[in-house]
Amino acid sequence: VMAAACRNGLRTVYLGRHGQGRFGDIARQAMRDEGVEISTMPVPGEDTGLAVALVEASAERSFISYVGAEGGLSADDLHGVLVSAEDYVFVSGYSLAHKNKVTALLAWLGGLPSGTAVVFDPGPLVDALHGVEMRAVLPL
């Protein structure tokens, strides 16, 4: 989503966490290559997570995932982010699935300026998310 936004000329800022390790380095470089700005510093002592997709001959997919630094978020991470009413904020359903992220994210979203467009993609977790988190995002 961020790469597509950049490719269409939109200023794009990644607000999530990322780690110091090899996978964090790869993620940051990929974002920089696409023109995505990164708002936070790497989390010391943590790496960015990864997912491996296994595809069977029938095209059935299974994923093995490891959540890293991106599984957390705090009010401090979002404190200096300036959002205007003309901005779009994209929220992934995966962000609502992490207990170390959801509280800060929902509080920050609730404080966005009036008129800010929030684009929410529940993804495949639409049935797994708790109703309270989903209800908090949908009115935005």
Q: Rounded to an integer, what distance in angstroms lies between the CA atom of residue 8 and that of residue 130?
A: 33
Question: Is the same domain home to 88 and 115?
Answer: yes
Instruction: Give the model confidence (pLDDT) of 62-115 as tens digits.
Output: 999 999 999 999 999 999 899 999 999 999 988 988 889 999 999 999 999 999
Please state the pTM of the whole predicted model. 0.85
Question: Is residue 123 a contact partner of residue 95, using CB atoms and an 8 Å limit?
Answer: no
- Structural domain boundaries, residue 41: 1-71
Which of 43, 71, 99 is a domain's end point?
71
Nearest by Cα to 105 from 63, 82, 71, 128: 71
Q: Which of 47, 71, 95 is the last residue of a domain?
A: 71
Q: Are residues 96 and 32 in the same domain?
A: no
Question: Count of domains in the chain?
Answer: 2
Q: How far apart are CA 8 and CA 12, in angstroms?
A: 10
